[in-house]
Amino acid sequence: MKNLIAVLMCVALAAMVGCSTMDEVGYGNKLVWTDLIEVPVDEIVIPEKVHTVKIKEAVMFDFDKSVIRDDQTFKIDKVAEAMAKYPDTVLIIDGFASSEGPENYNLTLSTKRAVAVKAALIEKGVAEDRIKAVTGRGETGIFGELFNLNRRVLVLSID
């Protein structure tokens, strides 16, 4: 199997760089390369599988509050565990508020909510430099009059 991988990698490399040391020989509708470059199998580096983790968690808040509810702390734990497992993952945190108050007040409230989630994640061991943005979005991106759904902070992983 390793020899097959070595041959395929050599063929792919030769095709990408237009290697002139290979002769193309046509057999019907098949193209066969001859004079392949031989590379010892132990010199071929096959990259490790790259793990991409997608984190999307909504931490919900009570009306006019920026304190994380007790029934939402498990979500902070889930995100912190994922961050520990995947050390190259970084986050953005977006806070939201319902439209039940003045727009400027809701913008401030949504920012306080996002900051509260960031602080909770740092307290759980997530390095601050892995949180790339903390933003209060106020009443933008809300679900109309579904006020309870609007009182949230989204924690999202980014590539």
d(CA 98, CA 110) in angstroms, rounded, equals 9
Q: Can you give the pLDDT at residue 22? A: 37
pLDDT for position 59: 93
> In which domain, by residue range, is 71 found?
56-158
What local confidence, expressed as pLDDT, does residue 42 receive?
58
Among residues 54, 61, 70, 86, the alpha carbon closest in space to that of 155 is found at 54
Among the listed residues 148, 51, 136, the one whose alpha carbon sits nearest the alpha carbon of residue 100: 148
Among candidate residues 68, 23, 59, 36, the one with its CA nearest the CA of residue 149: 59
What DSSP string runs through 102-143?
-HHHHHHHHHHHHHHHHHHHHHTT--GGGEEEEEE-TTTT--
Specify the amino acid at residue 85: K
Same domain, 23 and 82: no
* Domain shared by 67 and 121, yes or no: yes
Count the domains in the chain: 2
How many CB atoms lie under 10 A from the CB of residue 62? 12
Q: What is the pLDDT along the chain (159 residues), one digit of tens a residue?
A: 444 444 444 444 444 434 433 344 443 444 444 444 454 555 555 444 444 557 788 999 999 999 999 999 999 999 999 999 888 889 999 999 988 889 999 999 999 999 999 999 999 999 999 998 888 888 887 666 677 777 888 887 766
Is 51 a member of any domain? no
pLDDT of residue 53: 58
Residues 95 and 142 sit within 8 Å (Cβ to Cβ): no
pLDDT of residue 100: 87
What CATH number does residue 66 fall under? 3.30.1330.60
pLDDT at 144: 65
Is the whole-model pTM more than 0.75? no
Same domain? For 84 and 149 the reply is: yes
Residue 58 is inside which H or E element, if any?
strand 56-60
Residues 63 and 126 in one domain: yes
Quote the distance between the C-alpha of residue 69 and its chain's center: 25
